[in-house]
Amino acid sequence: MNTIGISRHPVIGLKQSETSPPPEQLAFQRCISEKKIKHRMKLEGFGKEREFKKIELVNLSKDYMNKNRAEPLTEEGKHNLIEIKEVKPRKLKGGMNGSNAARRKTIINSKKTASKLTDTELKKEKKPRVPKTRRPRLKAEKKESKALESLQRKECTYEPSSIKIFKEDYTHLDDCLINNVLQDYNNFVNLTFKNKGDEYDFCNIKRLAKRFGIVINQKALQEENGFKDKTIIAPIKEKLLNYLWKTLNDENGMETFHLKSSKGYPKLYKFFVGRGNNCEAVKSIMNKRPWWNHHTKRDLHELNFLWTQWKVNSELDKLPCKIMKTGDSEHICSSSEEEEEVDCSKNMLSSKYCQKFDPEKNIPFESQKVYNRVEANFHLANKKSLLINMKQYYESMGADPFECLPLTFHIKGGSSDPEFETFKKHFFEQKEIAEKEKKTQNVWIIKPGENSNRGGGINVSNDFYEIKGLLNSLSIKSKRTCIIQKYIEKPLLINKRKFDIRIFTLLTCYNQGYMKAYFYKEGYLRTSCKEFSLEDLDDNMIHLTNDAVQKHAEEYGKYELANKLSYDDFQKYLDVNHKEKSICFYRDLLPQIRGVITDSFRAVHGKVDPYMRENTFEILGYDFMIDEDFRPYLIEVNTNPCLDRCCPLLSRLIPSMLENSVLIGVDPLFIPQSGFLESRKMASELCKENKYELIFDSRTDGNKKSED
């Protein structure tokens, strides 16, 4: 049997002689000598030696050395072991392009190897090699194509959706000064520094530059390779950043100060970053700012910026504060996370409760400090407090809180609590309905009311007496209250698996009374490892999507890298699997989520930061689930959201979110002296797109209840 490139090859699978190798084997060994290989390559027009030897001869040799065949193969059997695919001919070195080269074929002579290749792969032609000079351009074009595809999704070029909108978003801050400046800031960055093409929209660039007080020399930019020359763009970026920081300070009633020099050297601010939760990422971000110096001791008296994984009340007490008064009584909230609850509904309903804007009120420059934890943050982060605050808010608005929250009962004293009797009555009513309709299984989720994180202490059950035992056990052992929440039995699934959505927000409390909240436009989905089923309620890998739980599963990362999906990945899934509903995540679902988050900040205004500390901020992680009717539910709020970079998606998202948070939460208070960024060429590291948008402002949202 002849093959292309080899005039003869040995009969495959002949029995070995007990005394000496058969003559066919000796012939084969002689054939694969270096001299013979080179000679055959020249005759038949093969390409490189390594390609010929690796693909053809090595595979033949492996198959020939198979000694398990008891009998020689027939000619038909030998042919069945050889798969042949056509390869697109290419021009060879030295101008060889004859008939042999035109009909050149690659032999895949191994049944094991051939079985791994699909018919498509066998027929696929070899792609031409891209020259190095064109690779950057092709890479840029591919990136631009993906960006355009993402932009089209976000601009929602979809038909009107057939799903019901359960929660309207708020638009009262869309045209506020901060959002307008952030939008123009991002537009300028995208039109200039992030523009990978050769052409610039100088008409819009000049319009935006005029707002920021930037002079654009179009001729000089065109001569100096546009916005890619650092010496030209450094002063532009510095002015852009200073304008943004000044706007944020003005909106918080603070004067903008620049870093001063001492004996010819600029002063350096001190920061400390505590251990835990990817602290190195925060340190890296602060080290990019040369006007900051890392301090080794955690003492806010000696620091300007303190970052800790968990709130330290002793450090909070070092920040200046004022106690706000309403009428003749002082309004003081507890800073502990114990059983004590604070009812601030009267203050929330009073227009006097909203801090008045006072541009003359300024913090002394020398004593400027900021801490990344907000006092009394448990009003959002505790499941018990979140339920109480959201119920108070929605009931004061005449709305049903369980339109946005799963039906929930707060049990304080175990099975003897009156609220438990209410739950008992509801449980058996639902059980009777479930038995009749056979559509639901009356499943509930039991979790601690306080101090729980990352899936700790959570149980799922549909047995009343099991739930009762869990309540009594939790109440006796830990002396904590308990939350019983209706399990979402018909969640929206991704490839038959459960998921939730992680949203980042930034809460800032500055200048003793100015509270603002920002919504981060990019988040991610967390998926479970196993297919959804209510048959096994004890398997947390089915029911809990927390990364702290899922990462211990054997299937972790099997379907998605680190069980994470981006918003764009989710949109692609909706486009394929729910095409008939014409759902745009950015238009139909995300605004509803943003509206619920805005309500949560309105609900806790006056409760968090009760003493009105000088300067505090906090990054919060909101978790949402969506049911099969595409209704979003707020599940919980995390005061210490996971910042690990466990996959490429989070390796890009988390550092960007932290950088944006520091740009809004820290930088406006500590602006370097004029020209400092330009001289150190650091503006390029800081001047990037900011994906935060303002959704809550205490000056306009603090007294919304009384207005409504």
Work out the average pLDDT over 367-376: 91
User: Does residue 414 carry a pLDDT above 90?
Assistant: no
Q: What is the pLDDT of residues 666-676, one digit of tens each?
A: 999 998 877 66
Lowest mean pLDDT among 70-79, 152-161, 536-545: 70-79
Residue with tokens 């906090």: 618
Lowest mean pLDDT among 244-258, 343-357, 545-559, 598-612: 343-357
User: Does residue 59 carry a pLDDT above 70?
Assistant: no
Please name each of the domains of the chain with its CATH number: 23-123 (no CATH), 407-487 (3.30.1490.20)
Structural tokens at position 32: 């694969």
Residues whose CB is less than 8 angstroms from the CB of residue 320 and which lie 6 or more positions away in sequence, other chains included: 367, 512, 613, 614
Give pLDDT, residue 132: 60
529 vs 451, more confident: 529
- Calculate the average pLDDT of the chain: 77
Work out the average pLDDT over 654-659: 96
Q: What is the pLDDT of residues 220-262, one digit of tens each?
A: 666 656 677 777 788 888 899 999 999 999 999 988 777 666 5
CA dist 43 and 28 (Å) reads 18
For a pLDDT cut of 70, what percent of the chain falls above it?
65
| Residue 545 contacts residue 498 (beta carbons within 8 Å) | yes
User: Does residue 615 carry a pLDDT above 70?
Assistant: yes
Q: What is the pLDDT of residues 123-169, one digit of tens each?
A: 444 455 666 666 666 666 666 556 555 555 555 578 899 999 999 99
The DSSP annotation for 395-429 comes to HHTT--GGGTS--EEEESSGGGSHHHHHHHHHHHH
Give pLDDT, residue 154: 55
Residue with tokens 């498509």: 120
Give pLDDT, residue 223: 65
| Residue 157 contacts residue 582 (beta carbons within 8 Å) | no
Work out the average pLDDT over 468-479: 79
Give pLDDT, residue 679: 57
| Residue 388 contacts residue 546 (beta carbons within 8 Å) | no
The strand pair at 292-294 and 269-273 is best described as parallel
pLDDT band at 80 (very low <50, low <70, confident <90, very high): low
Give pLDDT, residue 155: 56
Lowest mean pLDDT among 429-433, 470-474, 538-542: 470-474
What is the 3-class SS of 522-570, one letter each residue? CCEEEEEEEECCCCCCCCHHHHCCCHHHHCCCCCCCCCCHHHEEEHHHH
Task: Classify the C-alpha dihedral 568-573-575-578 as positive or negative.
Answer: negative
How many residues in total does the chain contain?
A: 708
Give pLDDT, residue 1: 44
User: Does residue 379 carry a pLDDT above 90?
Assistant: yes
Residues whose CB is less than 8 angstroms from the CB of residue 696 and which lie 6 or more positions away in sequence, other chains included: 173, 515, 516, 517, 598, 601, 602, 605
CA dist 612 and 322 (Å) reads 6
Task: Classify the C-alpha dihedral 27-29-33-36 as positive or negative.
Answer: positive
Give pLDDT, residue 505: 98
Give pLDDT, residue 330: 39
